[in-house]
Structure 1
Amino acid sequence: MEEKDLFEKLVGQQIGNYDFNNKNLLKQAFTRRSYTEENGGENNEVLEFIGDKALDIGVVRYLVNKYGNAPSKESLNQMKWLGQKYEDEFSCELDEGELTQLKQRLVQKDTLARRIDELALADYLVMGKGDELSNRSQEKSVKEDLFEAIIGAIAIDSNWDFEKIQEAVEVMLNPDSILNSGEEIDYVTLIYQWDESFCEVPWFKYNDGSYRYTWYMQEENTVYQSWSEIDTLEKDGSGPITKRCYVKIRDDLPTFVGFGRSKNEARKYACKTAYLYLEENDLFFTIKDEIDEPTLEMAINQLEILARRDYFSLPKYVAEERHDENGNPVWQVSCSIEEFDVSYTIESSSKKSAKKEAAFEMLKYVLDNYEEE
């Protein structure tokens, strides 16, 4: 597969498999001005501007669907087929101020940058040499720009098809996970985090069509969303189930399939199916998997590695020197970590040795006692 085709495939499956008519627009969305200043061509700045407005539209449509009583496109088509008209007044659970706060929360810089990180899309940015040397791809503002530019490219390519814009926004933004406030498990993020432990990104593929046909024509080495869950989803009256999502999280594991009324919902159930499989087969990555083998010589570095990966805060060391009756130096070094109620203190004639031993004792403790949130 050519590099260009591979780029389109890798990026496309993270943004909902939107199929660009103009493939150059996708590439342009990833091209920074610093590159075009050195090499010519078009960059993503105007696409960012367009994407900023298109993102607002996608988010507002999502909020209206979530909290309002406006019928879905499928419901309107069904009413038209039955010869009915939609004549209800529009009502919403939230007022204008509450909707504004939620919209701001969904489109803020930190949110967009975090999603770009989870989707692992910043790695594909095309930048000038100066930006590359200063590692600008890791700046939140650059990631925010990239998110908006991708949405802008889709808006232009689809001729402002609001359905397709909203679909891409929901897949990339995963807004349910942001607004649920812990009320519902965010299986999509959990699957991304599981794959991140192996330096990988989950692979997604989306299809339209009847879930019943897919269910009865089950593929080998594929795990499907439970029938009872699909049945419950179908009976809740929110519209027909017309989307399915395939997710592959590792080559040696099955493909997982979920169904829903949108790509975002189908992805949620595909990831839930994958998560339940991992749970059932005891395949969760734990803190112990981060360290091949705790050793005295590497204990200080190993503790810091775990801290840098956000398991806990950086360890603190307190060293005090005193002398024994013969005047020889005796070092006392304590190691503590904010999240744990214990500390370890070691005495040695060598400050370095005392620090190593204190770190080693703390390392053994956290590996045995760390609890995943």
Structure 2
Amino acid sequence: MKKIEQRINYRFKNKHLLQEALTHSSFTGNDIDNERLEFLGDAVLELVISEYLYSHYPFKEGVMTRLRANIVCSESLTMAAKNLGLGEYLIMGKGELVTGGRRRKSNLSNAFEAVVGAVFLDSDYENTRSVVLHALKKNISLSLDGKLVKDYKTELQEYIQQYEKNMLEYSLVKSEGPEHDKTFYIQLQHNKKIVSEGSGKSKKEAEQNAAKVYLAQCTERDTQSAKGKKHVSKRIRDKGL
């Protein structure tokens, strides 16, 4: 445990919290797993990044929302977990282990959130803030430069806000697979009309994929519309009207 504590830059007073944060739900050797800590860590992460952006940059609310979503998305947290080497410390069942569980993106991002939750319970906000900013320093910099990851949900939301009375709703349709390796299926509705679906190893990933599909449809429709208008304008000019 000392090595992982060195990597996350925090020494736990209650080592059991760290063990819980690293225990995957597939492990049957005890009655704990990291899902509750993951839930807490997710909320703490959003608070830390929100406060950091608010305190350090004069951005408008919409810009901060987009940056925060980018920094705390599953792909970003997976990158951070890999940099910390969390995968090699995960405690999991044999089935999950032999199928690549230590490298699975959802396991890594979930474990990162759980570790954040564990630090918060073991200490206080300031210590947790320090751990988060230490682990996500590179990701924050990349996000500010627009070089981290694509946030399709936020981009789609901004796209439809150009028009009045637009509402997006993401709904979980079903999930398949064992408890420790589920695939989630999300349905996206635009103004109560089903427009796309997406799947992923987490609900967040599935939502991003559904948004990606619909955003591509919207931009393609805009492209075709622009081509049509250009063609009409050319015909008018050719006729001298």
**Partner in structure 2 of residue 23 of structure 1:** 15
Which structure exhibits the higher relative contact order, with contacts defined as CA atoms closer than 8 Å and separated by 6 or more residues?
Answer: 2
Partner SS, residue 83 of structure 2: helix
User: For residues 30 and 125 of structure 2, what CA distance do their matches in structure 1 show?
Assistant: 32
More helix by proportion, 1 or 2? 2
Residue type of the alignment partner of 1:178? L
* Equivalent of 2:90 in 117, 122, 125: 125
**Partner in structure 2 of residue 216 of structure 1:** none
Which segments of 5 or more consecutive residues in structure 2 lack a partner in the other structure? 148-241
Residues 1:169 and 2:94 aligned together: no
**Partner in structure 2 of residue 10 of structure 1:** 3
Partner SS, residue 92 of structure 2: coil
* Equivalent of 1:181 in 123, 145, 158: 145
User: For residues 182 and 143 of structure 1, what CA distance do their matches in structure 2 show?
Assistant: 23
Residue type of the alignment partner of 1:126? I
Moved over 4 A (4+): none
**Partner in structure 2 of residue 54 of structure 1:** 44
Q: CA deviation at 1:176?
A: 3.8
Mapped contact 1:55–1:169 kept (Cα < 8 A): yes
Partner SS, residue 67 of structure 2: helix
Using the size of structure 2 for normalisation, the TM-score is 0.58
User: For residues 7 and 49 of structure 2, what CA distance do their matches in structure 1 show?
Assistant: 18
**Partner in structure 2 of residue 33 of structure 1:** 25
Map 1:94-105; keep pairs closer than 5 Å: 94-105=59-70
User: For residues 26 and 69 of structure 2, what CA distance do their matches in structure 1 show?
Assistant: 29
- Alpha carbon RMSD of aligned pairs, Å? 1.7
Partner SS, residue 59 of structure 1: helix
User: For residues 176 and 52 of structure 1, what CA distance do their matches in structure 2 show?
Assistant: 16
**Partner in structure 2 of residue 112 of structure 1:** 77
Map 1:188-199; keep pairs closer than 5 Å: none
User: For residues 30 and 37 of structure 2, what CA distance do their matches in structure 1 show?
Assistant: 17
Q: CA deviation at 1:124?
A: 0.6
Mapped contact 1:61–1:166 kept (Cα < 8 A): no
User: For residues 108 and 179 of structure 1, what CA distance do their matches in structure 2 show?
Assistant: 11
Mapped contact 1:57–1:166 kept (Cα < 8 A): no
| Residues matched between the structures, number | 146
Mapped contact 2:22–2:114 kept (Cα < 8 A): yes
User: For residues 64 and 97 of structure 1, what CA distance do their matches in structure 2 show?
Assistant: 12
User: For residues 14 and 59 of structure 1, what CA distance do their matches in structure 2 show?
Assistant: 20
Map 1:1-373; keep pairs closer than 5 Å: 7=1, 9-16=2-9, 18-35=10-27, 38-67=28-57, 93-158=58-123, 161-174=124-137, 175-181=139-145
Residue type of the alignment partner of 1:136? G
Q: CA deviation at 1:178?
A: 2.0
User: For residues 182 and 109 of structure 1, what CA distance do their matches in structure 2 show?
Assistant: 17
User: For residues 100 and 177 of structure 1, what CA distance do their matches in structure 2 show?
Assistant: 16
User: For residues 143 and 101 of structure 2, what CA distance do their matches in structure 1 show?
Assistant: 30
Deviation readout 1:251-279 (Å, 9 max, x if unpaired): xxxxxxxxxxxxxxxxxxxxxxxxxxxxx
User: For residues 14 and 40 of structure 1, what CA distance do their matches in structure 2 show?
Assistant: 26
User: For residues 26 and 39 of structure 1, what CA distance do their matches in structure 2 show?
Assistant: 16
Residue type of the alignment partner of 2:84? L
Q: CA deviation at 1:182?
A: 8.4
Mapped contact 2:34–2:114 kept (Cα < 8 A): yes
Mapped contact 2:13–2:122 kept (Cα < 8 A): yes
Deviation readout 1:98-131 (Å, 9 max, x if unpaired): 1100000000111110111122111110000110
Structure with higher Rg: it is 1
Q: CA deviation at 1:19?
A: 2.1
Residue type of the alignment partner of 1:100? T
Which segments of 5 or more consecutive residues in structure 1 lack a partner in the other structure? 1-6, 68-92, 184-373
Mapped contact 2:67–2:144 kept (Cα < 8 A): no
Partner SS, residue 7 of structure 2: coil
Mapped contact 2:8–2:131 kept (Cα < 8 A): yes
Mapped contact 2:71–2:140 kept (Cα < 8 A): no
Deviation readout 1:16-46 (Å, 9 max, x if unpaired): 2x221111101111001111xx212311110
